[in-house]
Structure 1
């Protein structure tokens, strides 16, 4: 099979969906990617073992021009399968690509399709996308529950789970955390790490609000916030107002390839993500939580959307109320003050991810869907 991947979510742009789509490309036998422009894309694309065609725009939309370009790429590269990295809205090109010769079309859904499923107009568009595809995939049980009611009965029967995977060789205990701690002056200090864009949905502000309580129980405990984003100034002001500015370290943006050592620097990984905008902005899953488990860290994750699928509560970490800094702080203190329990949860998490969340398993599912 030759697969044309049509997506806006592709590196060097960073994010969970970008990681998901890029890693799946490695699991396909023959692939060509059609995606949008991104700063630094020329240098990045030169490192890849497959062709990447960048559109002139910073965002692909299902316009007549974009559809015609996708059809042309199918013919140029003799592609007979199509994978939409995110179903909405690019999946609306499905009928045209089918007419151009696509034998199988798979459209992946993530968090944003859940709000498409709930809004008039967008719901009808999602239904059309489902009817045009051979399969719609979902990343979590919660996402499936939200999306399926918007689909036609026939499309609903074709929905399949396609979960992301984790590279347990890159994300492994001892993958560079000591060097990160040394570089940041955190040697011998209890450290809680959150790796994510600095946006309200990820809950870094909840961690900062919890931190005075954490410091009273665990003197010297430091919160390491890894990532860039629009909320940095707000979070810095919040930490300063709480009198804990010296206890919160901001790294700024870190390339995804360099992330494993930052997770390995943690005693505990915490991301109390939450659903915002009246349910329209949930956490679809949270690959970084699984990467933290693979690194042998106990995880604390907010109960939002499909995030519950990334933790076995009480076994690999804890699911918490992301709106309750006190409850979050209690769990953090529990893990920072009980090394035996902390290590047991981390070891259980690594075993679970290695067994259930490998990219080989995800790739096998996708190849089956494209080759049926």
Structure 2
């Protein structure tokens, strides 16, 4: 198939809609900024439940799905990716998450016209960097791509320590569409749907997994309700920790004050931010430093929506908050610190509004998707090519 002389990028990723999450948003937003005839996505199949919950998605560029739920750098998957690259005339590749798919880079270079490869790290690559066998594979990925990107200084340090000297790295961060996430939306419909009325609402929108810290919020809620008896916790997201969180809410005596809203597509999230008075995700590092938060795009979306933000101190999460200015950073395991900061925000609407205004301005000036796309496009430019 002939596709003219325009460059074309193959995006290889497991993290793509209809799957939901921060990395999925990251990959989709950057993919959408390519000219549609200059990008093709190679990804995995969604689960039947995920596909059923978000029907009818279409994209302005080709999206080719290998018939597995999770892509791995096996010969079969790599052969399919190479066939897609040849079919669409791709001359560059971006791995939306470096580990493990970046291990495909060498073979793709040898069997296709791909000349430039970039791989992006998030948070889970820190585990790779600190685990002997996986560390060697991350080092190999670094030698086979032209650039390996990182989200924050805290994730950069361990990842770069695992790489061969001379490996090129660069900062590539997510952004926020501040025309979609803004403080002028009406949160009334969400409040009505979940029976929240005019009560103070703390929102956490994230996968329900231990690292995100929803259990700390549930444990903090009784403390908060001693001061603000009608405070509510709104949890948006699905995950393996859901049943444990429900049991915890029952044990803490707040089962009627915690709303489990389930997972929702990314385009539905602005209305949830609009329904909240504060955003909180007290994430924490787990497994002796192997499991960390890469950054946390939800903090930036909340700030763009005019909310004060409470973040945990794991990985790059503190980079998404200006302490004392746009919100607070706490020890994600500290129930007392979490409760104290949330009480401070909910009892002082003026302070919360001021932080929300400052947070939105910060996101508008420093966290744009267009600048992130420009960074990625520059990294994909073959060395020595004309600008």
TM-score category of the 2 structures, normalised to the smaller one: over 0.9
Query: 1:150 aligned to 2:150?
Result: no
Give the one of 15, 25, 31 matched to 1:9: 15
Give the one of 135, 146, 149 matched to 1:123: 135
| Cα offsets for 1:74-98 (capped at 9, x unmatched) | 1110010100111111111111112
| Cα offsets for 1:165-212 (capped at 9, x unmatched) | 111111111323122112222121111111111111111110111111
Query: 1:91 aligned to 2:77?
Result: no
Which residue does 1:256 correspond to in 2? 266
Q: In 1, are the aligned partners of 2:208 and 2:238 still within 8 Å (CA)?
A: yes
Q: Give the deviation of 1:26 after TM superposition.
A: 1.1
Query: 1:371 aligned to 2:381?
Result: yes
Matches within 5 A, 1:343-362: 343-362=353-372
Give the one of 138, 148, 153 matched to 1:136: 148
Query: 1:37 aligned to 2:45?
Result: yes
Q: In 2, are the aligned partners of 1:176 and 1:260 still within 8 Å (CA)?
A: no
Task: Report the TM-score, using the length of structure 1 for normalisation.
Answer: 0.97
Q: Give the deviation of 1:46 after TM superposition.
A: 5.3
Q: In 1, are the aligned partners of 2:237 and 2:262 still within 8 Å (CA)?
A: yes
**4+ runs deviating over 2 angstroms:** 39-46
Paired with 1:22 and 1:219, the residues of 2 have a C-alpha distance of: 40
Query: 1:64 aligned to 2:70?
Result: no
SS of residue matched to 2:132: coil
Which residue does 1:26 correspond to in 2? 32
Which residue does 1:159 correspond to in 2? 169
Q: Give the deviation of 1:238 after TM superposition.
A: 1.2
Aligned length: 370
Q: In 1, are the aligned partners of 2:89 and 2:113 still within 8 Å (CA)?
A: no
| Cα offsets for 1:44-100 (capped at 9, x unmatched) | 675100001110111111111111111111111001010011111111111111222
Query: 1:338 aligned to 2:344?
Result: no
Q: Give the deviation of 1:235 after TM superposition.
A: 1.3
Q: Give the deviation of 1:240 after TM superposition.
A: 1.4
Q: In 1, are the aligned partners of 2:27 and 2:96 still within 8 Å (CA)?
A: yes
Q: In 2, are the aligned partners of 1:27 and 1:360 still within 8 Å (CA)?
A: yes
SS of residue matched to 2:40: strand
Q: In 1, are the aligned partners of 2:18 and 2:57 still within 8 Å (CA)?
A: no
1:45–1:35 Cα change, 3 Å: farther
Q: In 2, are the aligned partners of 1:45 and 1:52 still within 8 Å (CA)?
A: no
Q: Give the deviation of 1:34 after TM superposition.
A: 0.6
Matches within 5 A, 1:166-181: 166-181=176-191
Q: In 2, are the aligned partners of 1:283 and 1:307 still within 8 Å (CA)?
A: yes
Paired with 1:166 and 1:207, the residues of 2 have a C-alpha distance of: 25
Q: Give the deviation of 1:287 after TM superposition.
A: 0.4
Matches within 5 A, 1:312-327: 312-327=322-337
Q: In 2, are the aligned partners of 1:173 and 1:295 still within 8 Å (CA)?
A: yes
Task: Report the TM-score, using the length of structure 2 for normalisation.
Answer: 0.93
Q: Give the deviation of 1:41 after TM superposition.
A: 5.2
Which residue does 1:192 correspond to in 2? 202
Q: In 2, are the aligned partners of 1:176 and 1:262 still within 8 Å (CA)?
A: no
Unaligned regions of 5+ residues in structure 2, if any? 1-6, 383-387
Q: In 1, are the aligned partners of 2:123 and 2:291 still within 8 Å (CA)?
A: yes
Give the one of 60, 68, 80 matched to 1:49: 60
Task: Please tell me the root mean square deviation across aligned C-alpha atoms, in Å.
Answer: 1.4
Query: 1:106 aligned to 2:118?
Result: yes
SS of residue matched to 1:153: coil
